[in-house]
Structure 1
Amino acid sequence: MDKNIISRIETTDLEIRPSQEHDFPVLKSWFSNAKDLLLWGGASFRYAASDEEFLRSLHKKGYKALSFYYHSELVGFGQYQLHQGYAHLGRVAIAPKFQGMGLSYYLVTSLVEQAKIESVHSIKQVSLYVYKANKIAFKVYTKVGFEVAVPPKGITAIPACHFMLLTF
C-alpha cells in the first residue's frame, strides 16, 4: 500500500474488535529482531518463537486484547487489564507500514476509553510500563497525558522501564 494513501487514514475508517487467534501470527510478523520484540513485549517473549509459544506468552491472565483494523488489514494491537480503581495497558503496537501516521495516539486513547467503559467508569487511573529505550512510545504516552511516576506499593518497579500513570 502506498504510504501517501496510508497517511490519509481517518480514524473513522478504523475498526476496533476483540483480538482473534488469526491476528497473532500477523502481529508476530511485525517484530523483525529480538530488540524490537523485547521493547514491545518484555522478557517473556523469545524472538523466533513458534506461533504457539508466541500465543502462550501473549495470553496473560486477565488481559483483554484488542485489534485495530483498517478495512480488512490488522494495523494495531493493544492489551489492558482491569484492577480495583485502575487499568493497566500493555503491549501496544502499530504495524510497521502504518507507523509514523498518528495511529498510536488513537490506539492508546481507544484502549483507555475501552477500559473506562468496561469498568463502568470506576477506574481513576491507567498505568503502563515503557522501556526507557523506547523513546517513540514514551513520546506517544506523554502526548496522551501519561506521566512518569513511582510505582505504588505492591507494584514492582522494572529498572529498564518508566512506570507511567494517567489520572482522570
Structure 2
Amino acid sequence: MQFALPVPLDPQRASNLRLPWTSLLSREDLVQHVAKYPGMSWYVPGTNAYLIAGPWRNRDDIVEILESRGDRYRPALWTSLMESIINTAGAIIVDPTEYKSAAHFYHTVKVSCLETVLVLRNTHIPGPELSVELEIQSVLKRGIAELIAIDWDSFPWLWRNSRREFEEYLDSPGVHAWVAYKSEEPIGYVSLTLYDDWGHIDRLAVRPNFQGRGYGAQLLSWALRQLHVMGAKYAQLSTQETNERSFKLYSSFGFKLCRGGYKIYGKYLG
C-alpha cells in the first residue's frame, strides 16, 4: 500500500487537524504557531499524523520537535523535516515528553541525551559576601550588544542566546540583568528573575580570558545580595551536569541539588 507523502502544515490545514486530548497545543496555538514558522511543521494528508516543530529558544539554527502523532508515519515526517532544515540547522532538539512518547523511534534516528540540566537551591541568602572589584551596570543603561558578545564568548554553541531570545527575556516581568566591567572592558554578566519571595539566577557568565580570577564568585555574591535586598527568601539556578567548575562554585555558596532537573534530547547535524 502506497502511503501519502507528508506536506507542510499551514494555518488552514492546522485549523482542521484533529488534536488528541493529550496534546500540549490548543487548536488556536497550533494555527498561530504554523503561521509564525511556515514550513517547519508537517502532516500526512488523509490521516491524523503530524509533526510540529519550531525554533528552539528563538534560535533559527536549532530546531525543536514539540509534538508528533502517528507511529507508522513518523519516519516519513522526520525525513521531511530533516530534508527541509539540513542546510540551515546545526542541531535538532526533541521535547522531553515527545521523546519519551516515541523513544524507540528516536533511538533509531540517533537522537540521544545531549545534556543533563541540574537544578540547585540556596535557602540561606545572601550567603558569603565577597569584595567586588568590578564595576557593574544595568543592561538597560549600556544596551544589549555587549550582553550578546559576552554570552557568545562564554557559553558553548548550544547554550548561546539569540538576540530575539534576549529581547523577549529582558521584556519579561521581574527580569534584571547587569554587565560587569574591569578597567572599562566588559568581562561578564549576570541576570535574574524575581518571583514574589524567591529569585532565579538565570545566567552567569565570565569571558574565558577572565576566568580563574574570582570574578564569577564576585558576580554570584553580588547577585545574591541583590536578591536579598529585593526581598527574596531563597535562590535557585540551573547548570549542566558536565559543568563541574560551575557546580563547584555554586556549592561553595551553599547551593544544593533539588528536584526539577531535566534532560535535553537531540542530535547535532554537523
Give the TM bin, normalised by the shorter chain. 0.5 to 0.7
**1:135 to 2:256 alignment:** no
Say yes or no: does 1:85 pair with 2:208.
no
Query: Following TM superposition, by how much is the alpha carbon of 1:53 offset from its aligned partner in structure 2, in angstroms?
Result: 3.3
| Cα shift readout 1:7-57 (whole Å, capped 9, x = no counterpart) | xxx95541111023242242144147514xx2xx5xxx3xxx5xx435336
Higher normalized contact order (CA 8 Å, seq sep 6+, divided by chain length):
2
Unaligned regions of 5+ residues in structure 1, if any? 1-9, 151-156, 162-168
Partner of 1:17: 137
> Counterpart of 1:133 in 2: which secondary structure?
coil
Task: Quote the offset at 1:158 in angstroms.
Answer: 3.8
Aligned counterpart in structure 1 of residue 153 of structure 2, from 12, 30, 36? 30
* Distance verdict in 2 for CA 1:31–1:54, change over 3 Å: farther
1:106 and 2:218 matched: yes
Question: How do 1:1-168 residues align onto structure 2 when only pairs under 5 Å count?
Answer: 13-19=133-139, 20-21=142-143, 22-31=145-154, 33-35=156-158, 38=159, 45=161, 52-53=163-164, 55-56=166-167, 58-59=169-170, 61-62=172-173, 63-117=175-229, 119=230, 122-150=231-259, 157-160=260-263
* Structure 1 residues 44-86: Cα deviation after superposition (integer angstroms, max 9, x where no partner): x3xxx5xx43533653613100111112101110111111211
TM-score where L is the length of structure 1:
0.67
Q: Is the 8 A contact 2:179 2:190 kept in 1?
A: yes
Letter in 2 for 1:80: L
Counterpart CA distance in 2 for 1:11 and 1:69 is 15
Asked whether the equivalents of residues 206 and 215 of structure 2 are also in contact (C-alpha less than 8 Å), the reply is yes
**What does residue 4 of structure 1 align with?**
none
Question: For residues 113 and 158 of structure 1, do their structure 2 counterparts lie closer, same or farther at Cα, with a shift above 3 Å needed?
Answer: same
Does the residue aligned with 2:262 lie in a helix, a strand or coil?
coil
Distance change in 2, residues 1:160/1:131 (3 Å):
farther
CA contact (8 A) 1:28 1:54 kept: no
Aligned residues of 1:88 and 1:127 also touching (Cα < 8 A): yes
2:241 counterpart letter in structure 1:
K
Question: In the aligned structure 1, how far is the partner of 2:155 from the partner of 2:199?
Answer: 29
Change (3 A) 1:54 1:124: closer
Secondary structure of 2:178 counterpart: strand
Shift in CA distance, 57/101, structure 1 to aligned 2, threshold 3 Å: farther
Deviates more, 1:19-28 or 1:73-82: 19-28
Amino acid corresponding to residue 137 of structure 2 in structure 1? R
Kindly indicate whether the alpha-carbon contact (under 8 Å) linking 2:147 and 2:189 is maintained by their aligned counterparts in 1. Answer: no
Structure 1 residue matching 2:246: 3-state secondary structure: helix
CA distance in 2, matches of 1:160, 1:60: 27
- Structure number with bigger Rg: 2
Question: Distance in 2 between the 1:87 and 1:17 partners?
Answer: 19
Runs of 4+ in 1 over 6 A off after TM superposition: none
Unmatched tracts of structure 2, length 5 or more = 1-129, 265-270
Relative to structure 1, the CA distance from residue 110 to residue 76 in structure 2 (aligned partners, 3 Å threshold; closer, same or farther) is same
> Could you tell me the TM-score, scaled by structure 2's length?
0.44
Change (3 A) 1:82 1:103: same
Q: CA RMSD in A?
A: 2.5
| Residue aligned with 1:30, SS | helix
Structure 1 range deviating more: 136-145 or 57-66: 57-66
